[in-house]
Amino acid sequence: MSTMTDTELKARHRKMWASGDYPAMVETFLLPLGPTLVQACAISPGMRVLDVASGTGNASIPAAQTGADVTASDLTPELSQAGRKRAVAEGVTLDWVEADAENLPFEDGSFDVVMSSIGAMFAPRHKAVADEFVRVCRPGGTIGMLNWTPEGMIGALFRMMGPFAPPPPPGASPAPLWGSEEHVAEMFGNRVDFGTLRREELKITAFEHPRDYGEHFKACYGPAIAVRANAEKNGQADEFDAALDAFCDEWNRGSDENARFEKEYLIAVGIRA
């Protein structure tokens, strides 16, 4: 892939994640994930921590609250700006760096902990991401990821959206693959010894009616916004909306008047060889 094409790809990713209102989505139901990963990585005062694809700081800020020296890196400046405001409100200080998860601007072995919570999984080239995690983590340091699983609700959402989405770029892998234990092992190989590989669920009760969840996604979630725009361009907007409504009904674990969703994720934490 040419440099220009790659540059255009990254620009599209920035635009996608800057669209809608991802910070609102974080505040509505994603906040528990960051502290969960920080705890799993056993982050403590004085550690040098890198959060890759940090978004609004959902893991970076809790890591900084432990007293660690945290760098939050993300491809999308708009998300980092929202994170800076959150950090100020929480009274913590950390570094914010614009960075591509596939080509991190840090020296080899710079960090004690390299982590990502539902962030780096969306970079298209998974092996490049794994290579960069290993490169910037010191030997004996910790590598941790929290990723949606292929079998869970978000894996199913991306399968539902697939027929409406534009073709993926060459060499891209589906994001939810990162939630597979086998895929994590394949990407990192013997370079990381994963002592923690466990699946948990994020329970979401923020929506009264099941389809309110779908409306929230269409308004706030960059990937859903991009896919629906492509569907509209192809005259499939109504079909997409109906598919999303059906998806919300299928995955609702509550009632029609008191929706509840359960999103499965994989926590993978290991020691870098």
Q: Where do we find the tokens 């999308």?
A: 76
Is a pLDDT exceeding 90 seen at residue 18? yes
Q: What's the pLDDT score for residue 8? A: 87
pLDDT tens string 89-105: 999 999 999 999 999 99
Asked whether residue 233 is domain-assigned, the answer is no
Across residues 203-225, what is the average pLDDT?
97
In 3D space, the residue among 81, 87, 83, 192 whose CA is nearest the CA of residue 129 turns out to be 192
- The tens digit of pLDDT for each residue in 146-200 reads 999 999 999 999 999 999 999 988 889 999 999 999 999 999 999 999 999 999 9
Sign of the torsion angle spanned by Cα atoms 70, 111, 16, 178: negative
Whose structure tokens read 């910790």? 142
For 1-33, give one letter per residue: b (16+ CB within 10 A) or e. Answer: eeeeebeebbeebbebbbbbbbbebbeebbeeb
Domain coverage including residue 192: 3-150+169-202+265-272
Residue 95 sits in a domain of what CATH number?
3.40.50.150
User: Using CA atoms, how far apart are residues 44 and 22, in angstroms rounded to an integer?
Assistant: 28
Q: How confident is the model at residue 5 (pLDDT cuts 50, 70, 90)?
A: confident
Q: Is residue 35 part of a domain?
A: yes
Residue 219 domain-assigned (yes or no): no
SS3 state at 18 = helix
SS3 204: strand
pLDDT at 123: 96
Give the CA angle between residues 63, 122, 160 to the nearest 5°: 125
Residue 70 lies in a domain: yes
Domain presence at residue 162: no
End-to-end CA distance of the chain: 31
Determine, yes or no, domain membership for 117. Answer: yes
The answer to whether residue 106 is domain-embedded is yes
Span 212-218, average pLDDT: 97
What's the whole-number mean pLDDT along residues 28-56?
A: 98
pLDDT for the residue numbered 169: 86
Residue 3 pLDDT level (bands cut at 50, 70, 90) = very low
192-204 and 137-148 strand pairing:
unpaired
pLDDT score, position 171: 87
Per-residue confidence band for 1, with pLDDT thresholds at 50, 70 and 90? very low
What is the 8-class DSSP label of residue 103? B
State pLDDT tens for residues 58-91. Answer: 999 999 999 999 999 999 999 999 999 999 999 9
CA dihedral sign of residues 63, 116, 39, 189: negative
User: What is the reported pLDDT for 85?
Assistant: 97
Chain mean pLDDT for the chain: 96
Q: What percent of the chain has pLDDT over 70?
A: 99
Q: Per-residue b/e over 119-135, b at no fewer than 16 CB within 10 Å?
A: bbbbbbbbebbbbbbbb
Per the structure, how many domains does the chain have? 1
C-beta atoms surrounding 159 within 10 Å: 13
